[in-house]
Amino acid sequence: MVIHVVGARPQFIKLAPVLEAFRELSIPFKVLHTGQHYDYGMSELLFKSLELPGPEYNLGIGSASHAHQTGMMLTGIEEVLHNESPTLLLVYGDTNSTLAGALAASKLGIKVGHVEAGLRSFDRRMPEEINRVVADHLSDYHFCPTRRSVELLKAEGIAGMLTGDVMVDALQRFSNMEVKSPFEPPYILATIHRAENTDDHKRFHAIWEAFQRISKDIPVIFPVHPRTRDRFRGILQHPARGVKIIDPVGYLDMIAMLREAQCIITDSGGVQKEALLLKTPCVTVRETTEWPETVEAGGNRLVQAERDAIYAAVKIMLDTPVQANAQPFGDGSASQKIARFVKEVL
């Protein structure tokens, strides 16, 4: 039996096609939700829109400091593993849930598989980078989304398996559904949630000022992460006329909004890929990215968290045609490859 450990919105998206592949091959599994994302729009709504069954376990950890949150996850995951004695534990991506799952299982001698292994931004200031590196070095099986991720693992003495990206699988499965964006184009879609931008008030205020300036030319739609809303409730209550603050939306609505936007402003790794695959220009407010393939394909532009730099980058990308480029990320069969490996090897 396999335990899937997830806890955050991007992991739920990655989980959906993998569970479908597991069901097709009759591989027994249970889902453990750490509760890292607990807001309705970030958790329950997403499970519904992805047609995911409710998790067998929900630890309900919620928000806390990295150390406190990871510690509580370790305790809760360990208890579940003692009760279930799974053959394999699968972790996804680069969150604290990823780190806690890999650490708890490895200390109990349970095999660990890492879905989306081998990514590197080479910026150790990012908590996600620490989580990726540690999870990879604790894992027994490494399911790599790109050839670059295989090569990066090889340089660290780890053998990775090239599967492709499970988010491509999810996008192919759900993007064909006839869901229209709840907002009429033209608009810019913005998603900002990473600690480097939301824990630094100067950076976030510069990003917010960029939204205000851009909105004079084209409306900006900003679905706000609950943690971002809590930190900046005061300024978010007084946006410019062209900036619309909304709660997080379901996956299908988000894909429709990404597809119909004129440009994306983000710090999310998943959104960078989805923008490229949907042929929407993207500006990423970060100094580095774990998905350099999006920049090399011409669909993504990295920019400093400065008002004028963000504005200028958006103006450039609005005039930059983007060609859909799924090649670096596989053909949509990553979930099946992972499931077959689990079935045959374990």
Residues 110 and 84 sit within 8 Å (Cβ to Cβ)? no
Q: How distant is the alpha carbon of residue 124 from its chain centre?
A: 18
- In this prediction, what percent of the chain has a pLDDT beyond 90? 78
pLDDT tens digit sequence for 70-121:
999 999 999 999 999 999 999 999 999 999 999 999 999 999 999 999 999 9
DSSP single-letter state for residue 331? S
To the question of pTM greater than 0.85 for the whole model, the response is yes
User: How many other C-beta atoms are found inside a 10 Å radius of the C-beta of residue 31?
Assistant: 21
The set of long-range contacts for 341-345, using a CB threshold of 8 Å and a minimum separation of 24, is 341/141, 341/143, 341/161, 342/2, 342/22, 342/27, 342/88, 342/113, 343/25, 343/27, 345/141
Q: Report whether pLDDT(40) > 60.
A: no
Average pLDDT over residues 205-225: 96
Integer Cα distance of 142 and 127 in angstroms? 20
Domains of the chain and CATH, by start = 2-165+330-345 (3.40.50.2000), 188-327 (3.40.50.2000)
Look-up: residue for tokens 């060609």?
A: 323
Residues 194 and 126 sit within 8 Å (Cβ to Cβ)? yes
Calculate the dihedral angle through the C-alpha atoms of 265, 172, 33, 266, rounding to the nearest 10 degrees. Answer: 0
> Mean pLDDT score of the chain, rounded to an integer?
93
User: How many other C-beta atoms are found inside a 10 Å radius of the C-beta of residue 340?
Assistant: 16
Q: Which of 12-21, 185-194, 324-333 has the lowest mean pLDDT?
A: 324-333
| 41 CB-near residues (< 8 Å, 6+ apart) | 226, 247, 248, 249, 250
Look-up: residue for tokens 């394999």?
A: 88
pLDDT tens digit sequence for 278-289:
999 999 999 999
What are the residue numbers of the active site? 193
Q: Report whether pLDDT(37) > 70.
A: no
State the Rg of the chain over Cα: 19
The Cα-based distances of 56 to 33, 90, 320 in angstroms read 8, 15, 46
pLDDT tens digit sequence for 135-179:
999 999 999 999 999 999 999 999 999 999 999 999 998 877 778
pLDDT tens digit sequence for 314-339:
999 999 888 766 678 999 999 999 99
Query: What is the side-by-side order of every strand in the sheet holding 263-266?
Result: 243-246, 220-223, 188-191, 263-266, 282-284, 300-302
